[in-house]
Each structure stands twice: as C-alpha cells, then as structure tokens.
Amino acid sequence: MSGRLIDISQTLRPALPVWPGDTPFDVTRTWALEPGCPVNVSRLTMSTHTGAHADAPLHYAADGADMAGVSLAPYLGLAQVIDVTACGVRRITVDDVGARLVDGVQRVILKTFPTFPHEVWVETFATPDPSLIHYLAEAGVVLIGIDAPSLDPQDSKDIPSHQAVHRAGMAILEGLVLDEVREGLYELIALPLKIAGADASPVRAVLRVLEEEVAP
C-alpha cells in the first residue's frame, strides 16, 4: 500500500521529559570508530515507557502478559484519529467521541494536545473515562492510542482506565505526537519490541495516509 507516512513518535534524546521519578533517557558510546575499532556501538539507558510506547498488560496486572507475549495484530491496521482538544484536561467521555466513531474501526487514537509538549513535562492532561473504554470495546475497538503520557491522570492510584482496558483485552499506545495529524482514517504501524519480562516497549509509530487531498 502506497501513501505518505507521518511519524508520530517522539525523538529519544537525553533532554526528553519523562514521568516524574522514572529513568531518564541516555545514550553512551561504548565503542568508538577509530584505529583498531571498525565500528561505533552505544549503550541505551531508558524506561520501558520512554517516548511513544506500548503498555503490556503486565504494566497494570500482576498476571498480565509481558511485551514479548502480546499479539502484534492490534498495532498494525486501520485506525481513526479523533480530535478531542476541546475537552481541555478533563476526562474524555462517550459524548465526546461516540457520534464520531466510524463503524468497524478497530483502532482509535485520541488527539488531546493542540501542540505536543516536547520540552516540558505536563502534569495535567486529558484522559479517557473508563466508560469510554468500555464503549469502544463494545464497538469492537482493540487498541486505544493517545498523545498524553497515560490513559489515567498522573496522580491516579487505581488507574481505572488501564483496568478497563485490561478487562476488555485491548492494547494501549501512549505518548504519540499528533501535531501534523488531522482527524480521519489512517493505517497505523506501531510495533513494540519483543522484550521478555517487559511491562512496556518504545515504538516507532507512524500513520500512513490513505488518501491525499488533490488541489483543483
């Protein structure tokens, strides 16, 4: 399938804002290209939830599958981007999304930031209400994505939206960058790494444009 690709991943770099208290990103050269060494090799230090990432069920359920054990199918296929920036920083409800959901779409990506905060950590952000997760699951949605760092508020201790996802058997993408993305249908490609024992994985997430507008 041809079509323009839109990169919706964050650039991993030492200054990347991370969840408060989580592991900062670092890349350190361990072998350097020089006489006697034919290659550059680096060591990465980072959280499994760095940048654009997929949560494994193990992140929010003690008996959940790790990243190596999840199906790849939810992370590849037709997706609908829905702009909910008008919601501000409150919970996103069925009233905000339901009437706009395209029948048969199995992947929904919520755009909550008018402009993605690349340089600072934003502690308050919009998140989907658990009732919306249930509604999407009933409609056949198998993956929910969002540009916010979490499906639940930063200070949540019971993470009800993550738990709703777990009950529904859905997949999660968080930390996407949607500044260049309009509402509509796209092909999502955002495969997580196959990491045994991991509760999440960074992804290189892209949207493939299905139809380009043609100027008259």
Q: pLDDT tens, 151-188?
A: 999 999 999 999 999 999 999 999 999 999 999 999 99
Comparing 15 with 213, the larger pLDDT belongs to: 15
* CA–CA distance, 212 with 162 (Å, rounded to integer): 35
Could you give the domains of the chain?
Answer: 5-10+48-209 (3.50.30.50)
Angle formed by the axes of helices 130-138 and 160-168, nearest 10°:
20
pLDDT score, position 211: 75
Of the listed 49, 53, 59, 162, which one is catalytic? 59
Query: Each residue of 65-76: pLDDT tens digit?
Result: 999 999 999 999
pLDDT (average), residues 110-139: 98
Token pair 């992947």: residue = 107
Has residue 123 got a pLDDT over 60? yes
Has residue 214 got a pLDDT over 80? no
Residues 31, 73 contacting (CB under 8 angstroms): no
Has residue 215 got a pLDDT over 70? no
User: Rounded mean pLDDT of the chain?
Assistant: 96
Has residue 216 got a pLDDT over 80? no
Would you call 59 a catalytic residue per the annotation? Answer: yes
